[in-house]
Amino acid sequence: MSKRFVQDGWLLAAVGMVFLLVGGYYFTGLYCSDDTRYMLGAIRLAVGEPISTASLAERRVMFLLPAALFHAFGWKADLLAAPYLLFFVGTGCSGYLLARRLLPRAGAALAMLLAAAQPVLFLYAGAMLPDIAGTFFIVLALLLLVLWLEAVEVGAGWRRELLLAAGVGGAMATSLTIKESGLVLLVVPVVVIALASWRRGASRILPVITALLLGFAAVLVVEAAVFRLTAGHWYSSLLSLSTPHDMQAYTQAQGLDPIARLGTLRAILSPVTKGLFLLAGLSSLHLARAWHSGRLPHTGALGWLVVVFGWSWPLLAFTLGSVSLTEYRPAVMQERYYAPAIIPAAILAADLVRHIAFAGAARFRWVGPIAAAVLSVWLLSAPYSMWADRGLIYAAGAKEAFLLARRDAARRFPGVPLYDVASGWNADLGRCRALLVPVLPGGEERLSGALAEGADRKGRFFQPEARDLIPPYLVLGHGPFLDEPKRKDWSRNLLQMKREGKLSVEQVGRYCPAKLGSSIEQTWMPRSIASQRTNVSAASQCGAGELRHHEPQYVDLYLVTESRR
């Protein structure tokens, strides 16, 4: 075993460990937003309920398989996100191998440190979201593409070329099955293969493109078979691209012209990510100058083109482009959508940092290393500077308030039944509570019944009628569910019985996200540690801004007893 192989092996293991630690530190688990749809879809698979291709989440059946396996072995909702952390680790490892084809060992390690420190990746590493998983397969495809370029250069033979091309196609197709935007990025390997084969003639291009498409098609055939087994009919992720998505309100708000959308992108990305992308752009210009001056060989230039194109194309497409096959439309922009651009951007930025470190006149050689060190430290600062907010994304605060209310109700009112009421600002919160309440009265029936009827897809779950419950009992829900103008039927019936003098309804608690440091109980989950809550949060302790927020994070608890009148 060569010394170089051993050294790269140790560094690869170190990169994997860094990504595991950062991802574990920011592990999100269940956070009560898009993830609830994926988790319930995975539970459907695990218990044998048919999935529906009308559901966007369940159309990504390949993405659901790891969580379905974990649920089949009895893992709880929070931990269904655990296997997806491995995609984050795999992204770092495959990214290091890609960087090593272009950079020396230290440069490749720096590139992966820069990537691991990007909020675009680490904030979502421990969440059940398709972006990081899709990114892993995209980076794997870029790695196989660079290996294909090397095989062409050294004349490794048709068999190796075609196998690598098929691998590129298979990796891109797997990314597509996880998230439809993977099809947009198929442009990168197709263009690079066409450019690399141009001088060899059409007879050399067609077999390679055919192998790539066969690898792509093979994965889609497997996916179609999985759909046949789980949904009862044949389906493909390609069909999702022709399904209309009503995102007009989002795109109108984010802008329809390039200038407005670039302004939205500026607000979405964190400062360190914008800095990384700026360095990637400068590095791309530096490489273009080196190529123009003849300092980059043909194969080396194509290898760097993979990285430059792999960074700039998703940045451009996800900002201005479309993932629809039926019409051109601006994409909806969120921070995590730019995950596929991070690894290539980090490689480009690391290369530029290397050049900065060795730049400068003889008398001022110290300027370059200091500038490179300061720049690197700033780009690596996000995991430390954002530690207090680790795992607190989307509705994670609402979930923690719900768990706090449930624990406190059990402590203060032992033996009194507790019922969850339909409430909150969207259906995702209803799905989230259904994943959290199997221990409450009727909780198992509430979840299993909704799965059997398909009501969970709209966030609807079985609840006993208020008139059928025998007081005393407790009810809880998100936001002012008894005070809001458009009350749900359950709340309306409860208040009607109160007005009739049959019941007494008393608010006995309001539970809000509290500042870090108000400890309740220690848990291994970083998200829960980061979002520690006070044991009882009275109404007066809730911040006024939080109470007026259009998506209130707090939970109200009411005690219902027989009226004494």
The 10s digit of each residue's pLDDT in 96-111 is 999 999 999 999 999 9
- Compare 527 and 56 and report the one with higher pLDDT: 56
* Residue 264, pLDDT above cutoff 70: yes
The answer on 491 and 359 residing in a single domain is no
Amino acid identity at 36: T
The answer on 446 and 377 residing in a single domain is no
Whole-number pLDDT of residue 517: 39
At 104, phi and psi to the nearest 5? -65, 170
- Compare 236 and 393 and report the one with higher pLDDT: 236
Beta bridge partners of 505: 560
User: Where a domain ends, among 356, 371, 388?
Assistant: 388
Residue 534's domain comprises 396-562
The answer on 416 and 383 residing in a single domain is no
How far is it between the farthest Cα atoms of the chain? 93
Handedness of CA 244, 248, 251, 255 (dihedral sign): positive
Averaged over 288-296, what is the pLDDT? 84
Which residues does 76 contact at the CB level (< 8 Å), separation at least 6?
none
The answer on 242 and 153 residing in a single domain is yes
Nearest to 185 by CA among 304, 63, 2, 316: 316
pLDDT tens per residue, range 6-36? 778 899 999 999 999 999 888 888 888 889 9
* Residue 368, pLDDT above cutoff 50: yes
Query: At 304, which helix (H) or strand (E)?
Result: helix 298-320
Least confident residue range of 149-163, 205-219, 513-527: 513-527
Nearest to 288 by CA among 276, 296, 280: 296
Averaged over 65-72, what is the pLDDT? 90
145 part of a folded domain: yes
For residues 512 and 537, the answer to whether their CB atoms sit within 8 Å is yes
d(CA 496, CA 169): 61
Confidence of residue 293 (pLDDT cuts 50, 70, 90): confident
Q: How far from the centroid of its chain's Cα atoms is residue 307's Cα?
A: 22
481 part of a folded domain: yes
Instruction: Give the range with max mean pLDDT: 22-31, 84-93, 490-499, 526-535.
Output: 84-93
- Compare 532 and 379 and report the one with higher pLDDT: 379
6 part of a folded domain: no
SS3 call for 394: coil
The answer on 400 and 382 residing in a single domain is no
d(CA 94, CA 343): 9
* Residue 118, pLDDT above cutoff 70: yes
Query: At 151, which helix (H) or strand (E)?
Result: helix 130-154
3 part of a folded domain: no
User: Where a domain ends, among 388, 410, 444?
Assistant: 388
The answer on 355 and 413 residing in a single domain is no
The answer on 415 and 379 residing in a single domain is no
1 part of a folded domain: no
Number of domains in the chain: 2
d(CA 134, CA 62): 11
d(CA 366, CA 357): 9
The answer on 295 and 440 residing in a single domain is no
Whole-number pLDDT of residue 243: 66
Averaged over 313-333, what is the pLDDT? 72
Least confident residue range of 49-63, 274-288, 548-562: 548-562
| Packed helices 187-197 and 158-178: angle between N→C axes, nearest 10 degrees | 160
d(CA 17, CA 14): 5
* Residue 543, pLDDT above cutoff 70: no
SS3 call for 424: coil
4 part of a folded domain: no
The answer on 36 and 127 residing in a single domain is yes
The answer on 420 and 298 residing in a single domain is no
258 part of a folded domain: yes
For residues 97 and 343, the answer to whether their CB atoms sit within 8 Å is no
Taking each continuous run of H as one helix and of E as one strand, the counts in the chain are 24, 4
Whole-number pLDDT of residue 247: 62
Instruction: Give the range with max mean pLDDT: 270-274, 294-298, 415-419.
Output: 270-274
Amino acid identity at 343: I
The answer on 216 and 81 residing in a single domain is yes
Instruction: Give the range with max mean pLDDT: 399-403, 408-412, 480-484.
Output: 408-412
The answer on 406 and 376 residing in a single domain is no
User: Where a domain ends, among 388, 420, 452?
Assistant: 388
